[in-house]
Amino acid sequence: MIYQDSLEFAQDLDEQDELKHFREKFLFPLHKGKDAIYLCGNSLGLQPKSVQEEIAKQLTNWQEHGVECWFHPEARWLEYHLRLKQPLSKILGTKSEEITVMNSLTVNLHLMLVSFYKPTKNKYKIIMEGGAFPSDQYAIESQVNFHGFDPKEAIVEVFPREGKYILRTEDIISAIEQNADELALVLFSGINYYTGQMFDMKAITDAAHKAGAYAGFDLAHAIGNVQLQLHDWNADFAVWCSYKYLNSGPGGISGIYVHEKHFENRELKRFTGWWGYGVGKRFLMTSGFVPASGAEGWQVSTSPILLMAVHKAALDIFEEVGGMEKLQKKAVLLTGYLEYWLKHLNNKYGGELFKIITPSEPEWRGSQLSIICKRNGKAMFDHLSNNGVIGDWREPDVIRLSPVPLYNTFKDVYSAATLLNDSITILE
């Protein structure tokens, strides 16, 4: 695509966009009485209008049927999560029985580590990306401590090369090979939250398995953003949250994926609860835990129906779109358009005002650009904020902007870019 810097060009692209009517399904924060330009879906996705109705439906069910809702034909709460697994399995590229919906992300990471981090005297190391999201760092560190190992020795972080921001796949693989003898687990994000780099999950999984280690992924920034193929990649487990690109509300319900090859493996330890017991016998309340088959066997507690109602409303929109492919096609154009503008402004002002640290290849990124501002970064960001652009600032000098194909327009990108242009002329 050859981009142009005119408003008409952006409006033309919006006109041709076959997903344009999906914007109507979301509620936008207001700025001075008008819809804000929301470029922060990587942090908290927007609220689908249909959420209120789905919650209201479940509140009415609760009101009218009380505890009977778990079985009542109108509510069927006991199976409510099944309505979420179908759309999620398409987004994740898994079999339906390989996933379930439960808890929060970091909690699920701990539960998965109980099963898949089983350090021994000889094999105890975990390889992860340097600069992983803090919650993941804390979780891993505490697990290593819990097992009586020293995090400094057991955790191997792989960093980009000197002066670089993108981590090379070959460097990840060679770290795995170098540590193979002691390696228990490779845990990576699908997309790094800070740089927006998508990792080669298949290559990482293959290398981990060759080293006799498990491969697990935190998909917080990848799910609903890029097409995933967890089953075919042969990943052992994954966790995610639903409140970023999945638009399922603050602290929304999370989920887990476990590859089917692990279903019958009784060697895998679990922290269990009654909701992981096979549903047919769950209410017999007998002693002695027998896990449900599939990922549901990792469930612990009663389904939080109201969180699941938000999730359902949000996932219905993904179903209506009909596949990640369509979203990704628009995402490539939309993020490409933002990239075009940043380069255009660099050229216009004769220098590298903005350095994009997100990969330039569309196949290794999603709907996010992380931009280092060489001068006046915070002031530029404030100018955007004061004029109705909601983005994300990371100290000391990074702006993250995330144009989301479900609800952002090319005009949104155009408007943000012209505000950046104004901020340069005001501040220089």
Ligand X SMILES: *Cc1c(COP(=O)(O)O)cnc(C)c1O
109 vs 295, beta carbon nearer ligand X: 109
Contact 388, 30 (CB under 8 A): no
Smallest CA-to-CA distance from 111 within 120, 119, 103 is with 103
222 vs 371, beta carbon nearer ligand X: 222
188 vs 410, beta carbon nearer ligand X: 188
SS3 label, residue 337? helix
The angle at the Cα of 328, spanning 233 to 8, to the nearest 5 degrees, equals 165
Q: How far is the CB of 60 from ligand X (least distance, A)?
A: 29
Q: How far is the CB of 253 from ligand X (least distance, A)?
A: 10
115 vs 189, beta carbon nearer ligand X: 189
Q: How many Cα atoms occupy the beta-carbon half-sphere of 63 within 13 Å?
A: 6
Residues that bind ligand X (CB under 6 A): 104-106, 133, 135-136, 189, 193, 218, 220-221, 241
Q: How far is the CB of 132 from ligand X (least distance, A)?
A: 7
Contact 36, 299 (CB under 8 A): no
Q: How far is the CB of 228 from ligand X (least distance, A)?
A: 15
220 vs 307, beta carbon nearer ligand X: 220
Q: In the structure encoding, which two tokens stand for residue 248, read together?
A: 């399922």
Q: How far is the CB of 225 from ligand X (least distance, A)?
A: 11
Strands 214-218 and 37-38 turn out to be unpaired
Q: How far is the CB of 241 from ligand X (least distance, A)?
A: 4
Q: How far is the CB of 31 from ligand X (least distance, A)?
A: 25
φ, ψ of residue 173 in degrees (nearest 5): -60, -40
Could you give the CA distance from residue 199 to residue 363 in angstroms, rounded to a whole number?
10
Q: In the structure encoding, which two tokens stand for residue 386, read together?
A: 């004061």
Q: Is the dihedral of CA 113, 259, 200, 119 positive or negative?
A: positive
SS3 label, residue 304? coil
Q: How many Cα atoms occupy the beta-carbon half-sphere of 415 within 13 Å?
A: 19
Q: How far is the CB of 204 from ligand X (least distance, A)?
A: 15
192 vs 303, beta carbon nearer ligand X: 192
Q: In the structure encoding, which two tokens stand for residue 32, read together?
A: 């001075």
Helix 410-427 and helix 377-386, axial crossing angle in degrees, nearest 10? 130
SS3 label, residue 93? coil
104 vs 169, beta carbon nearer ligand X: 104
The angle at the Cα of 255, spanning 167 to 176, to the nearest 5 degrees, equals 30
105 vs 309, beta carbon nearer ligand X: 105
Q: How far is the CB of 138 from ligand X (least distance, A)?
A: 10
Task: Count the residues in the chain.
Answer: 428
111 vs 268, beta carbon nearer ligand X: 111
Q: Where are the alpha helices (DSSP H) in 181-299?
A: 201-210, 230-233, 279-282
